[in-house]
């Protein structure tokens, strides 16, 4: 099993969710995060005092899938989250040792 993590633009969440439903992914977890890569933040001015806001709001999506589903999933995320402009985000994949469904105690692929 693999954990696929994607950091994307916040307004792309619905597009990604729709794309993942299209390839049979049944669940995902999102969280609000902040960060920066090549896309830098913005400045704000309050009564003449200027502040540089470096971190840009992003959404982190996490999905655990079977090994054979990884390529399709990564492609689906990349395609649906892409705008072509700087700041579209990243996707990365790491191996997962164990997964347990809390309700039933099922383990491994059965828990996905």
Partner 1 sequence: MDELSSGDTAWVLVSAALVLFMTPGLAFFYGGMVRAKNVLGMLMQNFFCMGMITLVWSVVGFSIAFGEGNGFWGGFDFFALQDLTAGDGAIPYVAFVAFQMMFAVITPALITGSTADRMKFSSFAIFVTLWSVLVYSPIAHWVWASSGWLFKRGALDFAGGTVVHANAGIAAIVLALFLGKRRGWPTGDFRPHNVPFVLLGTGILWVGWFGFNAGSALGANKVAAIALLNTQIGAATAILGWIAIERLRDGKATTLGAASGAVAGLVAITPACGFVSPMGSIAIGLLAGAICALATSIKGKVGIDDSLDVGAVHLVGGVLGALLTGFFATLDTNEIGKDGVFYGGPWSVVGEQALAIGATLGYSAVVTALIALALKYTIGLKVSDEDEEIGLDEALHGETAYRLTSIGGSGFTSAVTATKVPEEAKA
Residues forming contacts to partner 1 in the complex (CB under 8 A) are 13-14, 17, 30-32, 44-51
The CA distance from 92 to 103, in Å, is 28
The CA distance from 41 to 93, in Å, is 26
3-state secondary structure of 34: strand
The nearer residue to partner 1, 24 or 57, going by C-beta atoms, is: 57
The nearer residue to partner 1, 61 or 65, going by C-beta atoms, is: 61
Minimum separation from the CB atom of position 72 to partner 1 (A):
23
Minimum separation from the CB atom of position 14 to partner 1 (A):
6
Q: Please return the burial class of 42, using the count of CB atoms within 10 Å of its CB with bins 0-12, 13-18 and 19+.
A: exposed
Minimum separation from the CB atom of position 5 to partner 1 (A):
17
The nearer residue to partner 1, 31 or 34, going by C-beta atoms, is: 31
Handedness of CA 52, 55, 57, 58 (dihedral sign): positive
């Amino acid at each position: 099993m693999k954990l696929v993590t994607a950091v994307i633009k916040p307004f792309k969440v619905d597009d990604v969710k729709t794309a993942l439903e299209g390839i049979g992914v049944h669940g995902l977890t999102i969280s609000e995060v902040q960060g920066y890569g090549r896309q830098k933040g913005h400045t704000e001015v309050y009564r003449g005092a200027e502040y540089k806001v470096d971190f840009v709001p992003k959404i982190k999506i996490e999905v655990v899938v079977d090994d054979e589903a990884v390529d399709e999933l990564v492609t689906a995320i990349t395609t649906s989250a892409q705008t072509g402009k700087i700041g579209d985000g990243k996707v990365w994949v790491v191996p997962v040792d164990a997964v347990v469904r809390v309700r039933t105690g099922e383990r491994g692929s059965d828990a996905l």
